[in-house]
Structure 1
Amino acid sequence: MNIRFIVQYDGTRYEGWQRQVRTKETIQGKLEQAIAQVTGETVQIQGAGRTDAGVHSRGQTANVRLKKKVDILQFEDRVNRALPSDIAILDSRKVPDNFHSRFGARSKLYVYRIRTGSHKDVFHRRFIWQYGEKLDIKAMTKAAMLMEGTHDFRGFTSNKKMKTGTERTVYSITMEESDDLLTLSFTGDGFLTNMVRIMTGTLVEVGEGKRSIQSVENVFITGIRADAGFTAPPEGLTLEKVMY
């Protein structure tokens, strides 16, 4: 039985999505532990993407294959009771055996939130970057247009040992500022390790006037990580949705 579900989590205290040997504090690890507790089976969760340490999710998609059939509603309820309060699953449903959360994904939407006002947002501090200064949004928008399309993004990833290709397609990058909150939305067919955070850091440098708009093109030409901007903090980033 193959079950697909949405995973929401506050990633603040976790070492990212992917299960690791050195720590038990991962989203995948907590999910597998909870599902094993509920079903009595040793399971392996497949996720649509591997979010970094400290990154959040509203719409991560995952699936798990069970040997025995279960009642979907009871499964979701019991798993949620077994999970920590900062992780939850929803919209659980039975899917065909060949469904795979990662390989079946067509596109993903990531959102990065930046507080540009001078006053800190205490109650949302875990989910925004408290930057605290105004940025040149027009310049950032022009630079973002250069990032859209199909490119080799090896200069925008921190992973120097990519086992697969580094070409990706970014369908759109949009920006919206409201009440001193700048929201950057990135939609693409897939994203490399730290890619959205490095793109965000690069755009912020443009907004600060520390980097020219044209310098973005140079990163694609050289493919050198040092030619791109800094890696923006993880707390501002959320995986909003995975499209199939």
Structure 2
Amino acid sequence: MNNYKLIIQYDGGRYKGWQRLGNDENTIQGKIENVLSEMVGKKIEIIGCSRTDAGVHALAQIANFKIDENLTESEIKNYLNRYLPQDISITQVMSVPERFHARYNSKAKTYVYKIWNEEHTNPFMRKYSMHIEQKLNMERMKKACQYFIGEHDFTAFSNAKSKKKSMVREIYSIDIVENGGFIQIRVRGNGFLYNMVRKIVGTLIEVGSGERDAEDIPRILDSKDRSQVSCLAEAGGLHLEKIDF
């Protein structure tokens, strides 16, 4: 059995997320599986590292799949890129040991959220960033970031659809950079719950606009009450940037 690792980029704007949904093919996983299945003439299932939400993009999603056929990396890459939609691209294919598992072997994931923080819109980035007209206070937002660092129960910052046995995750770092009208919020952790990054960003936006105090965050975390988090940042601003193994 041959095991192959894929590095994938995609514009998630028109898809229902990464994960295949029953017979609905309008997912990233579904599109790739269909092409792979055509390539080898039988049903192929792929394992993705991160189940990005509907509308979320990826710069370097990782997945793997196993087949009996001994195909070259170039053959697989060329076939996939020939038949996949143009908003999904396979940037690299690698033959890996049979024990490699895209989800279980990952050690850390990094997401970056992009905010366009000017009065006017940005027509070239409207699909890939959230537009906020009001100037956000960077110092307040950076202070708020510190309360998320470390290991916490993130139930309050998850969606009710999250079915994980444990809601505890560890955030390694949150960095905020402002440049040329853009604010980039980079979040790195050992894993994320459904909607977790977008709710963290939404809370940081509220802090930056003066609607919420940074000191509220420990109380919200302790409450484990989803109703305490009201702002969900738009999906289009979120990008899966990097996965560490």
1:181 corresponds to which letter in structure 2? F
1:60 positional shift: 0.5
1:131 positional shift: 1.7
In the TM superposition, what are the counterparts of 1:110-121 in structure 2 within 5 Å?
Answer: 110-121=111-122
- Alignment partner of 1:159 is 2:160: yes
- Alignment partner of 1:105 is 2:93: no
Preserved CA contact (<8 Å) 2:161 2:194: no
In the TM superposition, what are the counterparts of 1:1-244 in structure 2 within 5 Å?
Answer: 1-21=2-22, 23-159=24-160, 162-244=163-245
Distance 1:161 1:178, change over 3 A: closer
SS at match of 2:203: helix
Distance 1:18 1:109, change over 3 A: same
Render the CA deviation track for 1:130-181: whole Å, top value 9, x for unaligned: 1222101101111111001111111110135523201111000000001110
Q: TM-score, normalised by structure 1?
A: 0.97
Preserved CA contact (<8 Å) 1:199 1:229: no
Q: TM-score, normalised by structure 2?
A: 0.97
Preserved CA contact (<8 Å) 1:197 1:234: yes
The separation in 1 between residues aligned to 2:182 and 2:67, in whole angstroms, is 43
Preserved CA contact (<8 Å) 1:205 1:229: no
* TM-align CA RMSD: 1.0
| The 10-residue stretch of structure 1 (174-183 or 120-129) with the greater mean CA deviation from structure 2 | 120-129
SS at match of 1:187: strand
The separation in 1 between residues aligned to 2:242 and 2:39, in whole angstroms, is 27
Gaps of 5+ in 2: none
Render the CA deviation track for 1:172-198: whole Å, top value 9, x for unaligned: 000000111000000000000000000
1:88 corresponds to which letter in structure 2? S
Report the number of matched residues: 244
The separation in 1 between residues aligned to 2:211 and 2:78, in whole angstroms, is 50
| Same amino acid, percent of matched pairs | 37
